């Protein structure tokens, strides 16, 4: 099986997309963000304010669609074995170098935000945070033409916390179900 991006950040925290939308909408309706948004919307009827809050929950959920490996892109070029393989692959165009990675720890602190506007005027900004800690074991990195192109096999464990407007929405730990090979949507330059 080959897949690009691996599972979504959403899949790390929620069992279904519906669960994610419900949790994000509940968090935005019950937290400090709700007061800021309601105040910013002024005299808009309550039903309209509720619709805006529900939409913010859906947009926040949509941000979580990003693939796990997309978040890890930036950290790979720090590892000597990978940069050495990149140099070898550049010396042998079209060739592939396989790098065994016995163990690798990676962390991601992803902080997107949802901006709410009324008639092109900013009303509120709802901050999100996904803090993820990965332990990767038994991976094989595939390097070609000076770039990391794929990861093969191995086991992934993850601990993560998801916050919306400073309020914890979800926390999970456990194994991450990854495909046998993950190809990056665009190669990650290592040299």
Q: Average pLDDT, stretch 112-139?
A: 87
pLDDT band, very low/low/confident/very high, at 73 (cuts 50, 70, 90): low
Residue 44 has what pLDDT? 86
Q: Average pLDDT, stretch 47-72?
A: 83
pLDDT band, very low/low/confident/very high, at 173 (cuts 50, 70, 90): very high
Look at residue 3 and tell me whether its pLDDT is greater than 70.
Answer: no
Residue 1 has what pLDDT? 35
Average per-residue pLDDT for the chain: 83
Look at residue 118 and tell me whether its pLDDT is greater than 60.
Answer: yes
Write out the chain in H/E/C secondary structure.
Answer: CEEECCCEHHHHHCCCHHHHHHHHHHHHHHCHHHHHHHHHCCCCCHHHHHHHHHHHHHHHHHHCCCEHHHHHHHHHHHCHHHHHHHHHHHHCCCCEEEEEEEEEEEEEEECCEEEEEECCEEEEEEEEEEEEEEEEEEEEEEEECCEEEEEECCEEEEEEEEEECCEEEEEEEEEECCCCEEEEEEEEECC
Residue 77 has what pLDDT? 53
Buried b / exposed e along 159-172 (16+ C-beta atoms within 10 A): ebbbbbbeeebbee
106 vs 97, which has greater pLDDT? 97
What share of the chain has pLDDT > 70, as a percent? 93
Look at residue 2 and tell me whether its pLDDT is greater than 50.
Answer: no
């Amino acid at each position: 099986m080959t897949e690009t991006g691996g599972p979504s950040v959403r899949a790390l925290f929620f069992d279904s997309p519906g669960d994610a939308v419900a949790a994000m909408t509940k968090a935005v309706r019950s937290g400090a963000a709700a007061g800021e948004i309601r105040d910013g919307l002024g005299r808009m009827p309550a039903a309209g304010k509720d619709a805006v809050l529900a939409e913010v929950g859906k947009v926040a959920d949509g941000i979580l669609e990003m693939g796990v490996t997309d978040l890890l892109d930036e950290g790979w070029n720090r590892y000597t074995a990978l940069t050495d393989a990149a140099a070898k692959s550049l010396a042998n165009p079209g060739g592939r170098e396989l790098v065994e990675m016995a163990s690798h720890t990676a962390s991601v602190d992803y902080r997107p935000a949802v901006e709410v506007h009324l008639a092109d005027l900013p009303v509120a900004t709802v901050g999100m945070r996904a803090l993820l800690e990965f332990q990767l074991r038994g991976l094989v990195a595939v390097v070609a033409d000076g770039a990391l192109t794929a990861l093969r096999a191995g086991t992934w464990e993850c601990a993560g916390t998801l916050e919306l407007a400073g309020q914890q929405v979800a926390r999970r730990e456990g194994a991450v179900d990854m495909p046998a090979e993950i190809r990056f949507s665009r190669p990650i330059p290592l040299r």
